[in-house]
A and B are shown apart, each in its own frame.
Chain A
Amino acid sequence: MKFIYQTWWKVLTVLVILYTLVAGLLLGVPRLPIMHETIRNVYFHVPMWMAMFTVFTISVVYSIKYLMTGKPEHDLIAVECANTGVFFFVVGLVTGMMWAKYTWGEYWSNDPKQNSAAIAFLLYCAYLVLRNSIDEEQKRAKISAVYNIFAFPVMVVLIMILPRMTDSLHPGNGGNPAFGKLDLDNRMRVVLYPAFIAWSFMGVWIASVRYRISLIEYKKNAIE
């Protein structure tokens, strides 16, 4: 836990994200039909989902820890990670929709991947609604931890497995090759992989700041 209070990785994260912003817009990319320059969106769209998966995974780990130990801090971490994850979820959906407008023709084209992402979004909204519906703190923590553990595998199935079984416009699904196999050349790799890592750490950073704020509030309320 010492790790999240240190500064060096936050500086590094900001620097790497700045690098991916500049390099992502300036470095050369392969010229592909339909995609053209919009392929640069891969540096922004995909890392959002990476960040989301990272914080949701942390969230479910701390939900499990909460059920085992019953420490209120663990519940705070779980909920703040889920909040951050929902934020990245929205950003990922929006960047994906903008990309879809230029390549598939519509913001929403009834694509299985888009649909299941929307359903998974509802799943986490339900988690937040469930939290708001219970007043008692311990009860709320316990019930929402149970639902979080229940929801996480469903989310993974929805986003990672189901779209792969049907026809989809999205790369990597339904027999479409993913970027990696077809056209991701080394010029893109040097930007994309640092972007994955940097945005994931960005998610962790946002979640940790939110956690520290809510911890202060929690302690303040506890004294009274």
Chain B
Amino acid sequence: MQLLSQTKHLLKKEILLEWRSKYAFNGVLLYIVSTVFVCYIAFNLSAGFAQSQGYAVVWNALFWIIMLFAAVNAMAKSFMQESKSRLLYYYSIASPQAIILSKIIYNVLLMSLLSVLALIVYMLFFTNTLGDAFFYFVVVLLGSISFATVFTMISAIAAKAGNGGTLMAVLSFPVIIPVILLLIRTSKIAMDGLERSLSYGNIGILCAINVIVVAASLILFPYLWQD
């Protein structure tokens, strides 16, 4: 149970640090709001966009693309902002599993909060009627959890390799594409208000991917951090 208490303390420290500076949260929130606003202006340059035929498809795809880029930006910071000496200190007092687990949990919390806010802002600008609003909301939460688990491990690899943003995008996009395909398909089902049982299979696969990614992170991270 040492792992659990270590994870709890590290998680508390992450949240406390974030609460003091509010840098990651505010930065990404501003990123999302400005992206949504840019998209709003860009798409409404041509009149009659909201009444056009492909509106629903574009609405759904655009939301997930905005979420994808916001997630990359939010997660890229999770290991890079730690200074080398501070990392060394963590490693001397905590087990590597506790470190990666606390990062994953913290990122899941951050991404869930951000995705809910992003959905609200997005709905404000791009009006759309959701067929099954609650289910869409659940899918968005599940998507943000999946983004957090995948990107945490990738950002650990990218931070170790030592050159930030580009490598993060190059490494993470091929891994995240299957996840985002499943998410877009599932959320479209929720948006059209179709039978919920249609998407149980997809949700099962998403949960399985999350479990596999977390397990792989726990096994592989100890090899990654030791220099």
Are B223 and A146 in contact (CB-based, < 8 A)?
yes
- B216 with A150: CB separation less than 8 A: yes
| Neighbouring A residues of B177 by C-beta, 8 Å | 119
Q: Which residues of A contact B174 (CB under 8 A)?
A: 119-120, 122-123, 126, 151, 154
Binds A, one of B7-15, B54-62, B159-167: B159-167
B162: chain A residues within 8 A (beta carbon): 133-134
Closest-CB distance, B80 to chain A (whole angstroms): 14
- Chain B residues numbered 143-197 whose CB sits less than 8 Å from any CB in chain A: 153, 157, 160-163, 167, 170-171, 173-175, 177-178, 181
Distance (whole angstroms) from the CB of A176 to the closest CB of chain B: 19
**Chain A binding surface SS class:** helix
The residues of B that contact A150 with a CB separation of less than 8 Å are 153, 157, 175, 216, 220
- Interface size of A as a range: 20 to 34
**Dominant secondary structure at the B interface:** helix
Which residues of chain A in 35-73 are interfacial with respect to chain B, using CB atoms and an 8 Å cutoff? Answer: 67
Closest residue on chain A to residue B181 by CB atoms:
A162
CB proximity of B105 to chain A, nearest CB, Å: 20
Asked if B171 and A146 sit within 8 Å, CB to CB, the answer is no
| Residues of chain B with a CB closer than 8 A to A120's CB | 174
CB-based contact A151/B157 at 8 Å: no
Which single member of B163, B167, B201, B223 contacts A142 (CB below 8 Å)? B223
**The one of B157, B160, B175, B223 that contacts A123, using a Cβ cutoff of 8 Å:** B175
Q: How far is the CA of A133 from the CA of B209 in the complex (A)?
A: 28
Residues of B contacting A158 in the complex (Cβ-Cβ under 8 angstroms): 178
Asked if B212 lies at the interface with its beta carbon under 8 angstroms from chain A, I say yes
In contact, B167 and A130 (Cβ under 8 angstroms): yes
A residues in contact with B173, CB < 8 Å: 122
Beyond A67-B220, A130-B170, A151-B175, 17 additional pairs, beta carbon < 8 A: A67-B223, A119-B177, A119-B178, A122-B173, A126-B170, A130-B171, A143-B161, A145-B223, A146-B224, A147-B157, A150-B157, A150-B175, A151-B174, A154-B174, A157-B178, A157-B209, A158-B178
Taking Cβ atoms with an 8 Å cutoff, the residues of A that contact B are 67, 116, 119-120, 122-123, 126, 129-130, 133-134, 139, 142-143, 145-147, 149-151, 153-154, 157-158, 162, 165
22 contacts between A and B (CB under 8 A): A67-B223, A116-B178, A122-B173, A123-B174, A129-B170, A130-B167, A130-B170, A130-B171, A133-B162, A134-B161, A139-B160, A142-B223, A143-B161, A146-B224, A147-B171, A149-B216, A150-B216, A151-B175, A154-B178, A157-B209, A162-B181, A165-B201
